[in-house]
Structure 1
């Protein structure tokens, strides 16, 4: 419940502090006195767009502070606050503070904790329900009827939305698979030829580099063959250098003891023999590695050139050919196995559709039950509002499959009939202005009593009616205030007389500056204001007497 509202520097309001109680509070005043400013101020606190035009001229910022009862432990409101890390101490009020600067920009706090405008709007919708002067447009529009019925039913459409998304996802996967299958079928001949060609060639990982290296080595061998043979000839045979060194070493070994220098010479020749042997070994290994084989070179060049030609043909690097073969074989296999894969995906779509339909049918049952209850609830409100012959019905009919969506498989619309025997038709096409206001009130009352916000604001819901009808509206608002806090902006004396509290909105001017004030009226003040509403600017004794009659029992 809204406890208090503090307004600073908004349009014509310099400073205003209002206290609110339970039951029905009415706000009255001359046209243009500033009732809309009051509602705009409250709307700012509840997350409406922060318009710098609200800032009173000559000031730097405007600010609104709204205080509410402590949320009940375990309630949806308390859980919402907890989920968003907003702390409320037991027994302490929930305080919302919002400011907007004259040069743009705004700040919002909930219990001194900063919050976003989005969070503030969501929180505000849970605290106060506002029905403005043109709110009937939303209720007339069938696009909003489904949401209203679901709220009344307490139906959570999350399961239907999730099932619908799952169904659509499965359909997308199947469509892509069908598109891929069609494209693959068009490529079958190319794939079969490419796989056969690559399989026959059988490219190996790293083969291009190995072939290029071996080819380069062999071509070097062709150039070095003559030199290698001449060098090796110097080592080979009985007359070769290595054989001569070994012979000299044997002779020197027999005489090395005859003189120290001969021993040193022997050691040097031994080292030379060892080095020469290693050189001969390296020469033989090099000769083997650089062996020039014209046929082998021709075979290598042919394969290397063919490998590179295939790579250019498929627009890949030579080393990528083995993986390309695997990929093409996979695509070809997918074509061959496409029927089986598509069958699985089609089964997935069928199962997902069934899940969606089951969820939507369950939601439809809740909607059907709620629609009957809502029709009954609205019908009970029509008689007190002097619409005895009127009928209200919630239309719930199945949609064609192509129009199914995340919100279910039903079309929902509120229909009325105002005269006996007249067919039911959409709200906006049947009711007159006064009838429409009463239908809207009946519908709002029925919806509001289903666990909605504990504070409800009606802004001139009684417009276009008077006399007994206005009195009936006042009676119904009064009864509704037994279960919710009601704030009603009205121009009807019959409605104003039903309030538990009465606030008068005044606009005054000193010639240069205008300002709006709100004053709580006592019994005599209410009598005078209701008399003014009855008679106009000149309040007569007769109007005061009629005001007394309206206030009897209050």
Structure 2
């Protein structure tokens, strides 16, 4: 839901802040006051093309910021999360238009391209009227409206999944067929590679053992030298550690007979002597078994060289050679049995295509049935909205099999005829903005319960109508406002009196510059505004009573 919009230096607006609420909000004001500026500002913030002529005179830039509450909009929140733009249930979109012709856009503080604004805007706001931002004119949205009207959520999902499963299998089949054509050359290469890697015969843990043994043998001389030095320090000289410990122990042993307090130190020295003796024994055993073996070292060098050379050849790490060999063997097995795999996959593709066809045909049949119901309902709505000869046709055209898609085998298009004898034409080609607004309103009413867009903007939907038809328009907008947020720019009191909330736009001047302001109307101020819309310049008591009666009848 749109909660707030701030406008700065746009057209005749210097600064304007608008807070919006749920329900139907009507926007009124004198002709030329700038009622549509709010709609224009929303169009800009939702990705419409910017025009430097929209920037307020003597200003370098215009800026529009819109705040949306997205807590009840899971699809919007998912889109924000996918683009790393989520902000705990709110969305702030800001658009800056510069005098030099460029513009910048931001979503929750992060720079964003206009395409992102348009994608997000399609899910947040629908603007109906004489404006370009109308998802209703696009065939994909028309298809979506029909499917939502018909309750096709599950069937559309099944068709989508069926198509994607078939497409994936078909792509695998195409890959396998290509592989089959090149199979001979690939098999020869694989057999050569497998033979080369198999001849290497690299064990799973062999490399670690080779590296450890190579490290030991290549440093054997240094190890023996240092071990011999340790033996000399411990025992081979008169002042070696073991001799010194034994002499010290002998001295203390005699003294311990005189003073038992030295017994502990005597025992520790005895233990130290034993441990040094054991260390000496271990070192002698180690050095006796460690020999310089140039032949073995040369063998290890040669073996490691073979392994690393082959790893470089296959552009992998040495330890990745065994799993590489396994993968190549699996590929060779697949190619050796390609004919079997090809036949099985061909059968699977045909089965998946038939499943998709069944789902798509079921969807098509249901669409045609729903299209008739929707067309009749919308046509009746057009009649009540001052278009007695209005006719909507929801055309469901079967597509060639080559154009099959995840959306089925249909092209959906809304066709409209507004006058007798006029053949139905695509909705996008309806010339009159007023007619388009009312047709959109009729469609919106018919599909109000299924649309996912939370905020609907109706700009001048009452052009060319009056009296009872205008009151019907107001009732329909209020009806939609009971379930969605509606903002309606209007000049008719019959429509304005139906709103849950009322905003008035006023244009003023200080003699040097013109500015626009906006105020919320309640109570008597709202009665006065509707009376102005009813009676023009001179407001009589009768006009005021009529205005009061209109408001009280709606809200009574």
Please state if 1:94 is matched with 2:91. yes
Please state if 1:112 is matched with 2:114. no
Alignment partner, residue 84 of structure 2: 85
Q: What is the CA–CA distance in structure 1 between the aligned matches of 2:106 and 2:426, rounded to whole Å?
A: 40
Alignment partner, residue 128 of structure 2: 131
Q: What is the CA–CA distance in structure 2 between the aligned matches of 1:546 and 1:372, rounded to whole Å?
A: 42
Deviation at 1:343, TM superposition (A): 10
Q: What is the CA–CA distance in structure 2 between the aligned matches of 1:466 and 1:419, rounded to whole Å?
A: 19
Q: What is the CA–CA distance in structure 2 between the aligned matches of 1:442 and 1:136, rounded to whole Å?
A: 18
Deviation at 1:38, TM superposition (A): 1.5
Alignment partner, residue 466 of structure 2: 466
CA contact (8 A) 2:43 2:133 kept: no
| SS of match in other structure, 1:473 | helix
TM-score, length-normalised on structure 1?
Answer: 0.58
Q: What is the CA–CA distance in structure 1 between the aligned matches of 2:30 and 2:170, rounded to whole Å?
A: 56
Alignment partner, residue 367 of structure 2: 367
Deviation at 1:370, TM superposition (A): 4.3
Q: What is the CA–CA distance in structure 2 between the aligned matches of 1:148 and 1:427, rounded to whole Å?
A: 16
Alignment partner, residue 527 of structure 2: 527
Q: What is the CA–CA distance in structure 2 between the aligned matches of 1:475 and 1:55, rounded to whole Å?
A: 36
| SS of match in other structure, 2:86 | coil
Q: Specify whether residues 49 and 160 from structure 1 end up closer, same or farther in structure 2 by C-alpha distance, changes over 3 A only.
A: farther
Alignment partner, residue 333 of structure 2: none
CA contact (8 A) 1:433 1:464 kept: no
Residues 342-351 or 376-385, more deviating: 342-351
Alignment partner, residue 509 of structure 1: 509
CA contact (8 A) 2:434 2:461 kept: no
Alignment partner, residue 498 of structure 2: 498
Q: What is the CA–CA distance in structure 2 between the aligned matches of 1:367 and 1:14, rounded to whole Å?
A: 49
Q: Which ranges in structure 2 are unaligned for 5 or more consecutive residues?
A: 182-338
1:257-313 per-position Cα deviation (integer Å, ceiling 9, x unaligned): xxxxxxxxxxxxxxxxxxxxxxxxxxxxxxxxxxxxxxxxxxxxxxxxxxxxxxxxx
Residues 540-549 or 482-491, more deviating: 540-549
Deviation at 1:101, TM superposition (A): 2.4
CA contact (8 A) 2:146 2:370 kept: yes
Deviation at 1:406, TM superposition (A): 6.7
Q: Specify whether residues 424 and 129 from structure 1 end up closer, same or farther in structure 2 by C-alpha distance, changes over 3 A only.
A: same
Q: What is the CA–CA distance in structure 1 between the aligned matches of 2:511 and 2:405, rounded to whole Å?
A: 60
Q: Specify whether residues 175 and 416 from structure 1 end up closer, same or farther in structure 2 by C-alpha distance, changes over 3 A only.
A: farther
Deviation at 1:159, TM superposition (A): 4.6
Alignment partner, residue 187 of structure 2: none
Alignment partner, residue 43 of structure 2: 43
CA contact (8 A) 2:497 2:530 kept: yes
Alignment partner, residue 210 of structure 2: none
Q: Specify whether residues 542 and 11 from structure 1 end up closer, same or farther in structure 2 by C-alpha distance, changes over 3 A only.
A: same
Alignment partner, residue 54 of structure 2: 54
Q: Specify whether residues 139 and 3 from structure 1 end up closer, same or farther in structure 2 by C-alpha distance, changes over 3 A only.
A: closer
Q: Specify whether residues 58 and 459 from structure 1 end up closer, same or farther in structure 2 by C-alpha distance, changes over 3 A only.
A: same
Q: What is the CA–CA distance in structure 2 between the aligned matches of 1:531 and 1:475, rounded to whole Å?
A: 19
Q: What is the CA–CA distance in structure 2 between the aligned matches of 1:440 and 1:166, rounded to whole Å?
A: 39
Residues 485-494 or 434-443, more deviating: 434-443
Q: What is the CA–CA distance in structure 1 between the aligned matches of 2:169 and 2:418, rounded to whole Å?
A: 43
Q: What is the CA–CA distance in structure 2 between the aligned matches of 1:417 and 1:163, rounded to whole Å?
A: 41
Q: Specify whether residues 55 and 140 from structure 1 end up closer, same or farther in structure 2 by C-alpha distance, changes over 3 A only.
A: closer
| SS of match in other structure, 1:25 | strand
CA contact (8 A) 2:126 2:133 kept: no
| Larger Cα-atom Rg | 1
CA contact (8 A) 2:27 2:489 kept: yes
Alignment partner, residue 480 of structure 1: 480
Q: What is the CA–CA distance in structure 2 between the aligned matches of 1:426 and 1:116, rounded to whole Å?
A: 34
Deviation at 1:342, TM superposition (A): 12
Q: What is the CA–CA distance in structure 1 between the aligned matches of 2:390 and 2:488, rounded to whole Å?
A: 25
Q: Specify whether residues 485 and 136 from structure 1 end up closer, same or farther in structure 2 by C-alpha distance, changes over 3 A only.
A: closer
Q: Specify whether residues 158 and 32 from structure 1 end up closer, same or farther in structure 2 by C-alpha distance, changes over 3 A only.
A: farther
Q: Which ranges in structure 1 are unaligned for 5 or more consecutive residues?
A: 181-338
**1:305-344 matches, cutoff 5 A:** none
Residues 390-399 or 522-531, more deviating: 390-399
Deviation at 1:477, TM superposition (A): 0.8
Deviation at 1:460, TM superposition (A): 1.2
Q: What is the CA–CA distance in structure 2 between the aligned matches of 1:143 and 1:81, rounded to whole Å?
A: 22
Q: What is the CA–CA distance in structure 2 between the aligned matches of 1:431 and 1:115, rounded to whole Å?
A: 33
Alignment partner, residue 10 of structure 1: 10
| SS of match in other structure, 2:36 | helix
**1:381-460 matches, cutoff 5 A:** 381=381, 385=385, 394-399=394-399, 401=401, 407-414=407-414, 425-426=424-425, 437-460=437-460
CA contact (8 A) 1:417 1:424 kept: yes
1:121-175 per-position Cα deviation (integer Å, ceiling 9, x unaligned): 2222222221122579975787864344245444457557747967997999999
Deviation at 1:486, TM superposition (A): 0.6
Q: What is the CA–CA distance in structure 1 between the aligned matches of 2:438 and 2:536, rounded to whole Å?
A: 25
- How many equivalent residue pairs? 398
**1:262-277 matches, cutoff 5 A:** none
Deviation at 1:14, TM superposition (A): 0.8
TM-score, length-normalised on structure 2?
Answer: 0.58
